[in-house]
Chain A
Amino acid sequence: MTTETDKLQPRKGSGGPAGTSLRELVLHLRQNGTQLREEWARRIAAGKLLTEMTEAEILAETTSVYDNYIAALESGTLEALETYARSLSERIIPRGVETHEVVGIVLLLRDVLARSLINSDHGSFERLNAILNAYEPAANRIVITVAVGFVQERERTIREQQEAIRELSTPVLQVRDRLLILPIIGVMDPQRARQLTEQLLRGIRANRAKVVVIDLTGVAAMDSNVANHLVLTVEASRLLGAKVIVTGLSPEIAQTLVNIGVDLTKMTTVGDLQGGIEEAERELGYKVVPSDDVVAAT
């Protein structure tokens, strides 16, 4: 074996000898794979990491992480590992795995492997140095890659969810011809208020609405800025020829509206959504009658 001669050369720079050390290292890690994996899994359990996952899942994931780790050490390229880290993150993020757990387990693996290298029969101190010199930078790069991959994946997930929430947050629904409903649930921040205005005014145009019911039952409170914005939206809707009925105002919002001192005479408010829809139907000339009564009348 040619590696035998390389092994004996003193380590200089990061050329051939480092590559040799790395090969030797990978060989060592491959040979002791099962044992090291078990040790690693024990450490994970001892550290109370990945508590959301079952033992079998942890075993499956650790095995593939281990294999990818060794492959990355061997090839020295991180592309495959990056892809793997992303797909791993995709799988484990929905399970509620936290950043510290992911970084923790990769660091544990690094430590387990380093310990095993130190304890293995390496001949001389110099050889150990050479092996560690090759191992440490590669191991650190791997940790960084996995951690960055995980965080990026999580940020991507969060961005997607924010996007989804934003789209869902202000639906404009047509319940009858020329009658729109805007149910608003959750916290009203200025950005959402702006979005609401835009959606509503566009919706009035698109659906040729005459009456709009804005239901605020799901909004506990709003600051005076947002309340003011709401009043402006009602006024703007009137300029488009639509009447706005606001329903489900909480006592806190009512107080905010009174405190900012806007002219509330132009704002029609009804206690709850049902009352609001009934009022809107009256406004549009609809008359809702139970079908029994219709039968009785004919």
Chain B
Amino acid sequence: MQVPILKQGTYLIAVVQPDLSDRDLVALRDALVERVGTHRSTGVIIDVTALDVMDSFASLTLSNLASMIRLRGARTVIVGIQPEIAFTMARLGLMLTGVTTALDLEEGLAYLGRSDPRSS
């Protein structure tokens, strides 16, 4: 199942559903990296609130996704990681290095708004 990508101003927002397969995630990554260019977006928010498992593949893919999007000239925020998942990830060493994280969608938008060079 494909993850819907919403366009909100200069940002792209993707809300993932609970049963996200590895293939869906890769598809999401490719779609986002593509769309960042076509919409001239400055920020990408990926909302993982519904996700109840975050394995090493998922966190690596998200990490790569953030790096790729940075290279395409936008920033990425991962929002809505559940407390239990956060601790499990920390224990497994899945640190999402170099990726900005925020509490929820609102926080993510606030972060992008604060550090947006074009908005001010």
Q: Is B86 an interface residue (CB 8 A)?
A: yes
Q: Is B90 an interface residue (CB 8 A)?
A: yes
Given that A239-B81, A241-B79 are contacting pairs, would A208 and B103 also be in contact in the complex, using a CB cutoff of 8 Å?
A: yes
Q: Is A202 an interface residue (CB 8 A)?
A: yes
Complex alpha-carbon distance, A226 and B79, angstroms? 28
Q: Is A59 an interface residue (CB 8 A)?
A: no
Q: Is A201 an interface residue (CB 8 A)?
A: yes
B51-85: CB near A (< 8 Å → 1, else 0) gives: 00000000000000000000000000011010111
Complex alpha-carbon distance, A202 and B91, angstroms? 17
Q: Which residue, A204, A235, A238, A239, has most C-beta atoms of chain B within 10 A? A: A239
- Residues of A contacting B104 in the complex (Cβ-Cβ under 8 angstroms): 208, 241
Q: Is A45 an interface residue (CB 8 A)?
A: no
Instruction: Determine if B89 and A205 form an interchain contact, defined as CB atoms under 8 angstroms apart.
Output: no
Complex alpha-carbon distance, A198 and B88, angstroms? 12
Instruction: Determine if B95 and A204 form an interchain contact, defined as CB atoms under 8 angstroms apart.
Output: no
Q: Is B17 an interface residue (CB 8 A)?
A: no
Chain A interface main SS type: helix
- Residues of B contacting A210 in the complex (Cβ-Cβ under 8 angstroms): 103, 107
Instruction: Determine if A239 and B103 form an interchain contact, defined as CB atoms under 8 angstroms apart.
Output: no
Instruction: Determine if A241 and B90 form an interchain contact, defined as CB atoms under 8 angstroms apart.
Output: no
Complex alpha-carbon distance, A242 and B102, angstroms? 7
B109 CB to closest chain A CB (Å) equals 12
CB < 8 Å neighbour of A201 from B79, B87, B95: B87
Instruction: Determine if A202 and B83 form an interchain contact, defined as CB atoms under 8 angstroms apart.
Output: yes
Q: Is A118 an interface residue (CB 8 A)?
A: no
Using a Cβ–Cβ cut-off of 8 Å, how many residues does chain A contribute to the interface with B? 18
Given that A201-B83, A201-B86, A205-B83 are contacting pairs, would A239 and B91 also be in contact in the complex, using a CB cutoff of 8 Å?
A: no
Complex alpha-carbon distance, A237 and B96, angstroms? 12
Given that A239-B81, A239-B96 are contacting pairs, would A233 and B87 also be in contact in the complex, using a CB cutoff of 8 Å?
A: yes
A227 CB to closest chain B CB (Å) equals 14
Instruction: Determine if B90 and A232 form an interchain contact, defined as CB atoms under 8 angstroms apart.
Output: yes
Q: Is A133 an interface residue (CB 8 A)?
A: no
CB < 8 Å neighbour of A236 from B78, B90, B102, B107: B90
Complex alpha-carbon distance, A64 and B66, angstroms? 77
Complex alpha-carbon distance, A210 and B95, angstroms? 18
Which residues from chain B sit less than 8 Å from chain A, CB to CB? 78-79, 81, 83-87, 89-91, 95-96, 101-104, 107
Which residues from chain A sit less than 8 Å from chain B, CB to CB? 197-198, 201-202, 204-205, 208, 210, 232-233, 235-242
Q: Other than the known A201-B87, A235-B90, A239-B85, what 7 A-B pairs have Cβ atoms closer than 8 Å?
A: A210-B103, A232-B90, A239-B78, A239-B101, A241-B79, A241-B104, A242-B103
